[in-house]
Amino acid sequence: MIHYQRGTHGIDAGWLDGYFVGWSDPPSPERHLKILNGSSIAILAIDDEHRRVAGFITAITDGSLAAYIPLLEVLPEYQGRGIGSELVRRMLAELDGYYMIDVSCDADVQPFYARFGLHPWTAMIHRGRIDSTPVLKKGGRG
């Protein structure tokens, strides 16, 4: 049985094993817990029987107009059971009325988000450690 909750009440890092599949340098479970606690909104799908978080979604928001959903993940063994959809539904309900709800995702996940009314857009992003020096030099102002 999976139950859903907002926030990390009753959860410690031991419940967060196995996340960030495919990342070259995945955050530790301890850092994951910090990420959940530092997010404006974190919703967890919890498998109480096995003392595991089966999936989670986070949002960073100004509390009024704009929100960004940086992370959504369901552990591989829990995928395909509707957990990811339920997490997105619950997050969008939390963000009801917001003008901007942004998600950055790989192209193969776009059809998943499209089911909830989101649509493809263009964006500028950065991942990893930023180094703005070459850009400033190119512009001639650095």
Ligand X SMILES: CC(C)(COP(=O)(O)OP(=O)(O)OC[C@H]1O[C@@H](n2cnc3c(N)ncnc32)[C@H](O)[C@@H]1OP(=O)(O)O)[C@@H](O)C(=O)NCCC(=O)NCCS
Distance CA 125, CA 5 (A): 30
Closest residue to ligand X, based on beta-carbon distance: 84
Nearer to ligand X, 117 or 140 (CB): 117
Min separation Cβ 62 and ligand X, Å = 20
- 120 touches ligand X by CB under 6 A: no
Instruction: Report if residue 47 touches ligand X, rule: CB under 6 A.
Output: no
According to CB under 6 A, which one of 65, 105, 135, 136 is a site residue for ligand X? 105
Closer Cβ to ligand X, 117 or 139, answer by number: 117
Q: Does 42 bind ligand X (CB under 6 A)?
A: no
- Measured distance CA(24)–CA(31) in Å, rounded: 15
Q: Does 84 bind ligand X (CB under 6 A)?
A: yes
- Binding test (CB under 6 A) with ligand X, winner from 63, 111, 128, 139: 111
Of residues 7 and 70, the one with the C-beta less far from ligand X: 70
Token pair, residue 11, equals: 């959860």
Told to check if 37 binds ligand X by CB under 6 A, we report no
SS3 labels along the chain: CEEEEECCCCCCHHHCCCCCCCCCCCCCHHHHHHHHHHCCEEEEEEECCCCEEEEEEEEEECCCCEEEEEEEEECHHHCCCCHHHHHHHHHHHHCCCCCEEEECCCHHHHHHHHCCCCCCCCCCCCCCCCCCHHHHHHHCCC
Q: Which residues bind ligand X (CB under 6 A)?
A: 72-74, 79-85, 103, 105, 108-109, 111-112
